Amino acid sequence: MSPENLDTLNEFRERALAEGISPDDIARWVATARPCAFLGTRGDGPVVGRLGGPLMLPADAPDPWCKLAATIDLAALPSGVTDLDLPADGHLLLFADPDPDRIGEGNLGSALHIPAGTPVEERPVDLDPEWKNYPHETDLPEGLLRLSTDVSLPYYTSVYAPGQPLDCAGHPDHPHANELIEVWTEMPGEGIGRGLQLGGYAEDEHWAEDPSVAAGREAARAVARGELPAPDTNVRPEDWVCLAQWMHGLDGLEMALYSWSISRQDLVAGRFDRVYATMTWNP
């Protein structure tokens, strides 16, 4: 953890103590912290990728089924900027289909890693609908992505509990999760504009279960339906983490929270074909 991240966590501890949360509860929460990278359209950090832009693919790669959201130059990311086992180089392409009608019905995106040195060429792909039913059915945002670093804490208060209301029960290890999240959301920080959070924890508006763990359960059902490739090894929903959360700013979907998730085992194996994208939206 970088000195800056430790300073952020120390400030969080002080604010949480001032709210009357016990030191033991704070310590258990802080122990879950993950370093993350913010790739945003604001600031003066180094350029590490872009939103949208031309689609550059190897000649033998199939056409994507949804639109290019971002391209990340993995070699431009400093070591340790996240706790993800990302490839050291090449480009990571993230594709998105932010369709609210398909929430919970299937994968809302995909990802592709193109190894360094692979020849690529621009691929024209027309995925625009013949008519636009929603304001968000439009071009996705574009712009250079600049790096800044931070630390992430969880945005969930519950664990999966079938048969309970909303299939969730209070997190047994973190009974003050809701208060801790409220303290975290009041911490000072600068907005990144549109862009991505790479690594860390995904957020949804419910603050219920970890969105990446929920995505892992959806992914297992998709494998059973034959809609997603099977993993190479045994993978549990608890093994899934946030690959990226997208700050898209799409008209009509400003409050929709969209993320790509992947299991740690798939990351190590380079199985980006198993990335699973989800979205929550409370219009």
The tens digit of pLDDT for each residue in 136-191 reads 556 789 999 999 999 999 999 888 878 777 777 888 889 999 999 999 999 987 66
Residue 146 lies inside a defined structural domain of this protein: yes
Burial of 217 (0-12, 13-18, 19+ CB in 10 A): middle
Q: Is position 185 within any domain?
A: yes
pLDDT at residue number 130: 47
Count CA atoms within 13 Å of residue 143 on its CB side: 18
Could you give the C-alpha distances from 149 to 16, 191, 278, in angstroms and in order? 22, 12, 24
- Tell me what pLDDT residue 135 has: 55
Residue 2: is its pLDDT beyond 90?
no
For residues 206 and 280, give the distance between their C-alpha atoms in angstroms, rounded to a whole number: 9
Share of the chain above pLDDT 90, in %: 73
Within a domain: 127: no
Taking residues 83-105, report their average pLDDT: 95
Quote the number of domains for the chain. 1
Q: What is the pLDDT of residue 208?
A: 80
Residue 116 counted as domain residue: yes
**pLDDT of 99-126, one tens digit each?**
888 999 999 999 999 999 999 999 988 7
Contact between 249 and 194 under an 8 Å Cβ cutoff? The reply is yes
Structural domain includes residue 271: yes
Residue 128 inside a domain? The answer is no
- Tell whether the model's pLDDT for residue 133 goes beyond 60: no
Question: Tell me, what CATH number does 26's domain have?
Answer: 2.30.320
Residue 272 pLDDT level (bands cut at 50, 70, 90): very high
pLDDT of residue 168: 76
**Within a domain: residue 129?**
no
Domain boundaries, position 67: 3-122+134-280
CB under 8 Å to 58, separation ≥6 — which residues?
114, 118, 119, 120, 121
Q: Please report the pLDDT score of residue 131 as a whole number.
A: 42
Q: Is the confidence at residue 222, as pLDDT, over 80?
A: yes
| Residues β-bridged to residue 149 | 37
Whether the CB-CB separation of 98 and 34 falls below 8 Å is answered with no
Please report whether residue 165 resides in a domain.
yes
Read off the pLDDT band of 14 (50, 70, 90): very high
255: confidence class by pLDDT, cuts 50, 70, 90: confident
Confidence (pLDDT) at 274: 98
Instruction: Please give the share of the chain, as a percent, with pLDDT higher than 70.
Output: 94
Residue 192 has pLDDT above 80, yes or no: no
How much is the average pLDDT of 11-23?
A: 96
**Residue 134 scores a pLDDT above 60:** no
Q: How far apart are CA 17 and CA 147, in angstroms?
A: 31
- Averaged confidence pLDDT in the chain: 91
